[in-house]
Chains A and B, each alone.
Chain A
Amino acid sequence: MNQALRLAYRNLVGAGLRTWLNVGVLSFTFVLILFYNGLIDGWNKQAKRDSIAWEIGQGQIIHKDYDPLDPFTILDGHGNINTIKGNVSPVLVQQSTIYPEGRSISTLLKGVSTNQSITQLPTGLLLNTDANIPALIGKNMSNKSGLKEGDEVLIRWRDSEGTFDATNITIVGIFESTVPTIDAGQIYIPIEKLWELTGLENHASYFIVGEGYEHKEIQDWEFNSQSSLLETLDAMIETKKASGTIMYLLLMAIALLAIFDTQVLSIFRRQKEIGTYIALGMTRGEVIRLFTVEGFMYSVLAVILGSIYGIPLLWFLAKNGIPYPVEQVQDFGVPISDTMYPVFSLGLIAGTLLLVVVSATIVSYLPARKISKMNPVDAIKGKLQ
C-alpha cells in the first residue's frame, strides 16, 4: 500500500498542471460545500434563537379557535385568561386599520402585558408614558408606514359586537428584531387598553410560556411546545438547504467528471506503464489499486489545498459574519439577521470530507476497472485496447 501511495504521489506530481487543475476544482467544491452548509446551519441557529427570544418563548398556549395562520379565526379565537396560571404572558389579537397620512394599512393590533419579560419585546416602553394609547411597532412596520417615535396615528377597530371605533395612538417605541413575523403589519399596545377598547375584558388569543411553566390540560386551550412551533422554521430551512444542494452537487459533478476524465486519459496513455507493471509481477488488482489510489490522492490533495485557503477564509467569515440585505427578504417571513454568521460543526466538516474523498475514489476506480481486461503484451506494445 505504501508503494502504491508513493507511486501515486509521484505520478500525480509528475502530471503537473493537469493534477493541480483537478485538485483546484475539487478543493473549491470542498470549501464551497462547507461554506454553504455552514451558512445555512448558522442561519438556522440564529433564526431559532431569535424566534425563541422574540416570539415563541418556551412554547405557546393557543386558544382552540385561534389559528395564527388563519385571519378568519381572529374574530372568535380568544378566551378568558383566568384559567391559566404560572409564568405566562397573555396576548390578545384583534384586527385594525391605521391611517398614516391618509393611506389605509391593515394591521394586527396586539394587546401585550407591559411587565412581561418572557420575550425581548420592549413592552416596558408602554409603561412610562403620558400617551393615552401608547403603541410599539417594529422597524419594518415603521419603514412601511412612515411612522416614527412620537408620531400619532389614527387607528380604527371594531369592538366585541362589531361596532366601529377610532382614535389616535402614539408610537412610543420602535423595536428592531430579526423576526419579521412579530413586526410586519403589527402594533403592540398594553393589553388592558385593548380590553378597554374592544370590551374583551380578561381575554387573550394566546399565551407565551416562560421558563418553569408546567402545563396541565386546560379546557379550550392547547399547548404548543417550543419544538413544535419551530417545526415550520426547520422545514423552511431544510427546503433551502435542499435547493442549495443542487448547486453544489453540480459543482461536485464537474470536479468528479474532471477526475474521471483524467483517469480515462491516464489509462489510455499509460498502457505501456500498465503492461510493464504487470510484466514486473504486479497483479492486475494491484495496478487497479494504484490508479484508484491516484484518484484518492486527488481528494487528499484537494482537502490539503482547501484547508490552506479555506480555514482562514471560513474562520474569518464565522468570526465577522456576512452582511445580508435583510429588507429584501424579510417579507418572506423568515427570521434573518443583517449579518449572518456561518457555523462549522465537526459533523459538517467530517461529512463533507468523507463525501469528497469517497466520491473521488469511486470515480477513480470506475475507469481503472478496464485494466483487468488488458492483455499485458499488447499493453507493453502500446496497442490500443
Chain B
Amino acid sequence: MKYLTILLVAFFALSFATSQDPDANAIIKKIDANMISNSNITTSKMTIYGRRNDRTITAKSYGEGSKKSFTEYLSPEREKGTKMLKLDDKLWIYSPSSDRTIQISGHMLKQSVMGSDLSYEDMMDERKLTEIYTAVVSGSEVLDGRKTWVIDLIAKVTDATYEKQKIWVDKEKFVPLRQDMMAKSGKILKRVSLSNIEKISGRWYPKRMNYKDMLKQGKGTDFEIVTIEFNPKIPAHIFTKASLKK
C-alpha cells in the first residue's frame, strides 16, 4: 500500500510537470541553434513593396559570426555591384556608379536599407536571442495551422534595439513563425512573419520572411532565401575593405 501511494504521488507529480510549459530559455536556445550558424553564404531576394511600384533586389551574402558580413547586390542593374561590408559595429557601402566607399555609422544605421522596412541595424544585429533576452512562455496558440509556443522576451542588456519581443515558436521545428518587436511602451513597432520552413543541413530554417513596419502603411518587405549554405569556410579576404572595390 505504501509503495502504491508513492507510485501514485510520483505519477501525478510527473503528469503535472509535463503539463507545465517548457523552459522558455531552452526553447530560444533551440531557436538560436536553428537560426544562427558560425558562418553562412546566402543568395537572397528582397522585394520592397512601394506605393507605386515594387522592387526586387537579389544579393549574395557572406556571414561569419555576428561581427562580420559582406553583401553584394546582383540585381537590378541599378544596384548591381553595390557592396556592403560590416565589421564589428562599422558598416561600409561601396557604390559602383560613383566608385566611392562610404561609412555608415551612428544614426544612419537606423535608416532603412534601400527603402525597405529593414534598417541597416536590423540587418547587422545578429546576436543570439539568448544573449539579449530572458524568455517566458506565456501560452500556446495555433498559427497558420501550426502549434506554437508564445514566448515573451524581455531585454536583459541595456543596448537592445527592442526592449520587448513576442515570438510564436513552432513547437515541433523550433523556428519562430512570427516575431513582434516592441517599444518600451509596449507598442508593436515591427512584425516579422516567417514561413516556408525547410530542413537544410539538418536544421529547420525559414526561407521566407516578411518584415513589416507596423507604424507605416504598406505590405512591408519580403526577404526570400534562394540558397543558403551553413558553416562553409569563407576566405578571410572577403571581410576586408579591399573586397569592396573588387
Contact = CB atoms under 8 A, between A and B. Distances in A.
A165 B213 contact: no
A345 interface: no
B163 A103 contact: no
A156 interface: yes
12 contacts: A71-B107, A72-B105, A99-B216, A104-B215, A154-B187, A156-B215, A158-B110, A161-B159, A162-B161, A163-B159, A163-B160, A166-B183
A163 B216 contact: no
Interface string A176-214: 000000000000000000000000000000000000000
A159 interface: yes
A296 B38 CA distance: 89
B202 interface: no
A166 B181 CA distance: 12
A164 B161 contact: yes
A164 B184 contact: yes
A158 B107 CA distance: 10
Interface string B143-178: 000000000000100111111000000000000000
Q: Rank and list the top 8 A-B pairs by shortest CB-CB distance, nearest first.
A: A102-B217, A166-B183, A165-B184, A99-B215, A166-B187, A161-B158, A165-B183, A72-B106
A175 to B, nearest CB: 26
B149 to A, nearest CB: 25
A165 B160 contact: no
Contact of B184 (A73, A76, A99, A163): A163
B106 A163 contact: no
A74 to B, nearest CB: 6
A307 interface: no
A95 B106 CA distance: 11
The prevalent SS among residues of B at the interface is: loop
A158 B158 CA distance: 12
Nearest to B187: A166
A102 B219 CA distance: 12
Interface string A50-80: 0000000000000000000001111110000
Contacts of B159: 161-163
Contact of A104 (B106, B184, B216): B216
The prevalent SS among residues of A at the interface is: mixed
Contacts of B189: 156, 164, 166
Contacts of A156: 183, 189, 215
B94 to A, nearest CB: 19
Contacts of B218: 102
Contacts of B184: 159, 163-165
B217 A103 contact: yes
Interface string A205-232: 0000000000000000000000000000
Interface of A: 71-76, 95, 97, 99, 101-104, 154, 156, 158-159, 161-167
Given A71-B107, A74-B106, 5 more contacts: A72-B105, A104-B213, A104-B216, A159-B184, A164-B163
A99 to B, nearest CB: 4
Contacts of A73: 106
Contacts of B163: 163-165
Contacts of B213: 104
Q: Which of A74, A97, A104 has the most CB of B within 10 A?
A: A104
B180 to A, nearest CB: 13
B185 interface: yes
Nearest to B163: A163
Contacts of A161: 158-159
B155 A163 contact: yes
A76 B105 CA distance: 12
Contacts of A102: 215-218
B200 interface: no
Contacts of B187: 154, 166-167
B10 interface: no
B108 interface: yes
A156 B183 CA distance: 8
Contacts of B110: 95, 158
B145 to A, nearest CB: 30
A68 to B, nearest CB: 14
A163 B215 contact: no
Nearest to A73: B106
A163 B107 contact: no
A101 B217 CA distance: 8
A72 B107 CA distance: 6
A71 B181 CA distance: 26
A16 B2 CA distance: 139
Given A102-B217, A162-B161, A74 B107 contact: yes
Interface string B186-225: 0101000000000000000000000001011110000000
B239 to A, nearest CB: 24
Interface in B214-243: 215-218
